[in-house]
């Protein structure tokens, strides 16, 4: 068994999360195949950029503003991080916009992305919809346009992660985590399943998959012929792959089953992930981040001491930003 060195530095910080000149690090790199060296340098560090969040999630890099946006779901807030200013509040409320106090444990936004026009799109737990911010990125306001909030008249539960195809179609997942009891038997839940959906360019919401227990992260392979969904269920801690043939989903299969690692006690579950231009997949899962090559082989892991939720690449894919419980992390890649 390999002996892994883990570097954990605990610092005291306020929620303003200012960045100092000192580089704080955590975790370690587990190299399972020599090919990992082409992606992650042997001496790569996992930097702590900011901390003090309740549950950080849904990061997206905004190249036009040279900033990273990410959600703190329980705090109903989006933060922005820049190299110069560190982390600051960007938008609040981000998910629940009602006037009455929310009974939800996770009322805020979760997954974030940019549409083909560069506008911010949010999965809003509290408002139970996928929405677009109706304001410019450099002057954010909590004004939203609904893109999807129901399927066949039944209200969505709590959209979790979202991705656009190049043709402008939206694909998103809808587990129950944003409901008050976060379960399938919540009285507020209207759909009898936890779905994966597509929104056509005409705005029609279509059900693609209703067989997963906890659909969570979603992403496309570079050719857009296949999408992968993370299932964040400790009994089925699995990534599934689905092929697209026109409007049909075919060839559902297991991409990788991490249930043994979950049942062995490693913290975290398959959650958010990203696939780079070469088809390598960086996926949160039990124990931190799992790194797959384009053939689906695990070639390495970014081992982290706390549950990890999601990640995002910089525009050139030379930097990976990671949301991990209370932290915002960064690892510089070797490409």
CATH number at residue 122: 2.120.10.30
pTM of the model: 0.92
pLDDT digits (tens, 9 = 90+) for 226-248: 999 999 999 999 999 999 998 89
Is residue 16 in a domain?
no
Is residue 115 in a domain?
yes
Which residue from 210, 219, 267 is spatially nearest to 239, judged by alpha carbons? 219
Helix (H, G, I), strand (E, B) or coil at 261: helix
CA distances from 197 to 121, 194, 316 (A): 15, 10, 29
Could you write out the DSSP letters of every residue in 294-313?
Answer: TTS-EEEEEE-SS---EEEE
pLDDT digits (tens, 9 = 90+) for 79-124: 999 999 999 999 999 999 998 888 889 999 999 999 999 999 999 9
pLDDT at 40 over 60: yes
Is residue 26 in a domain?
no
Is residue 27 in a domain?
no
Is residue 87 in a domain?
yes
Is residue 44 in a domain?
no
What is the token pair recorded at 287? 């124990």
Number of separate domains in the chain: 1
Are 237 and 285 in contact by the 8 Å Cβ rule? The answer is yes
Is residue 29 in a domain?
no
The secondary structure of 177-208, three-state, reads: CCCCCCCCCCCCCCCCCCEEEEECCCCCEEEE
User: Which of the pair, 52 or 20, is modelled with greater confidence?
Assistant: 52
- Grade residue 303 by pLDDT with cuts at 50, 70 and 90: very high
Q: Which domain holds residue 78?
A: 52-273
Q: How far apart are CA 321 and CA 272, in angstroms?
A: 12
What is the token pair recorded at 274? 């990203």
Is residue 187 in a domain?
yes
């Amino acid at each position: 068994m390999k002996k892994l060195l883990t570097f954990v530095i605990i610092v005291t910080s306020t929620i303003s999360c200012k960045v100092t000149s000192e580089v704080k690090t955590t975790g370690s790199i587990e190299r399972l195949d020599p090919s990992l060296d082409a992606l992650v340098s042997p001496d790569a560090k996992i930097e702590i950029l900011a901390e003090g969040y309740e549950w950080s999630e849904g990061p997206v890099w905004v190249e036009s503003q040279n900033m990273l946006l990410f959600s703190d779901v329980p705090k109903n807030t989006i933060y922005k991080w820049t190299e110069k200013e560190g982390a600051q509040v960007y938008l609040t409320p981000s998910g629940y916009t009602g006037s009455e106090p929310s009974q939800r444990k996770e009322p805020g936004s979760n997954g974030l992305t940019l549409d083909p026009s560069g506008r911010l799109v949010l999965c809003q737990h509290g408002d139970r919809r996928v929405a677009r911010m109706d304001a410019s990125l450099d002057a954010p306001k909590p004004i939203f346009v609904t893109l999807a909030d129901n399927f066949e008249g039944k209200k969505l539960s709590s959209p979790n992660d979202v991705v656009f195809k190049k043709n402008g179609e939206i694909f998103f997942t809808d587990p129950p985590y944003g409901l008050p009891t976060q379960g399938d038997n919540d009285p507020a839940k209207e759909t009898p399943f936890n779905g994966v959906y597509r929104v056509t360019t005409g705005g029609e919401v279509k059900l693609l998959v209703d067989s997963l227990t906890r659909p969570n992260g979603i992403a496309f392979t570079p050719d857009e012929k296949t999408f992968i969904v993370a299932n964040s269920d400790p009994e089925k801690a699995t990534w599934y792959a689905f092929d697209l043939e026109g409007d049909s989903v075919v060839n559902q299969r297991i991409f990788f089953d991490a249930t043994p690692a979950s049942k062995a006690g490693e913290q975290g579950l398959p959650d958010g992930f990203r696939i780079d231009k070469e088809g390598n997949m960086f996926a949160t899962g039990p124990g931190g981040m799992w790194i797959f090559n384009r053939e689906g082989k695990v070639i390495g892991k970014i081992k982290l001491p706390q549950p990890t939720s999601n990640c995002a690449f910089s525009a050139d894919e030379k930097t990976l930003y990671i949301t991990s419980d209370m932290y915002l992390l960064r690892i510089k890649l070797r490409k």
